[in-house]
Chain A
């Protein structure tokens, strides 16, 4: 039995917001997911989608890519805000946001799904609709970049 739009949202929104938080930070995550849902549910192909979860993850990833520029600007504003104010509301150290900002969107997605959900590269590949080799590359490059940032 197929879920209604609202039921689908209730079922997946939480984990997608966490995924989106890893990609764009906490400020925009909920908006990204809401926009992704609106996009997906309005799609003519959505009723025929079998693997809805993976489809939603990919849509969130695409949504993030489209928002990349504005997100970068917003992140810069966040970082500036952190310099002036206590880190109370968002509860993320600026160093963390800064470190994640050196990664590309794809690298961030691979890192988040690997380290947060403990997915194997094969599982990440299935979730994002890319090849396993691509996931391994993104993960390796992401780790390399993070090593530079964290150990500098």
Chain B
């Protein structure tokens, strides 16, 4: 039985091998080195692997660095004010750290309430935004926030409008929003710098701002 199987296998193998083609001519077979890549030695493989890892690391770190240093284009630094509570996005919370020597302080400190004054203050001091805070409480305040921090806190009832400066990477614009001090007001950022709604807490829209950040009034 085993002999028979061996004979059959041998016969099969012989039949197969005898059908072997001739090798390619040497000049043709060896002409191109563009065939499969040659196997690497252990050392070469390690060197290549480390080099690859180093490249990945460098590219990754570069990506992180660029990501951290790029000016966010679509980030509106507008606070979100709802229901009398203020979320001062990016603004300092300690209002006692006012720089009273700052020229801008003079304006609210002297009770300036007209819109031109606020606009001027915003213009001069590069305010990023002006936010409203408060609610039914008469202690409502208006915060003027600049890059350096809070510049001034103004009694809310002493003003007649909000001046908002919206800054992104290449555009800065002051926006004056008339204010009804009897009604709480909120500034709602409805998207990444695409549009900002300014509305009373009861939902009535005061106005909206959208790129390129010119105010348009809606409702009453």
Contacts and interface: CB of A to CB of B under 8 A. Distances in A.
Interface stretch (A25-33, A121-129, A130-138): A25-33
B30 A9 contact: yes
A44 B44 contact: yes
B175 to A, nearest CB: 66
Interface string B32-57: 11011111110010000000000000
B13 A29 contact: no
Interface residues of B, number: 33
B15 interface: yes
Given A13-B29, A39-B35, A99-B12, A30 B5 contact: no
A56 interface: no
A43 B38 contact: yes
B68 interface: no
Given A100-B12, A146-B5, A150-B8, A35 B35 contact: yes
Contacts, number: 124
A9 B19 contact: no
Contacts of A96: 12, 15-16
10 contacts: A16-B23, A30-B23, A31-B24, A35-B35, A37-B29, A66-B36, A92-B19, A100-B12, A112-B13, A115-B13
Interface of A: 5-6, 9-10, 13-14, 16-18, 21-22, 25-27, 29-31, 33-35, 37-45, 63, 66, 90-93, 96-97, 99-100, 111-112, 115-116, 143, 146-147, 150-151
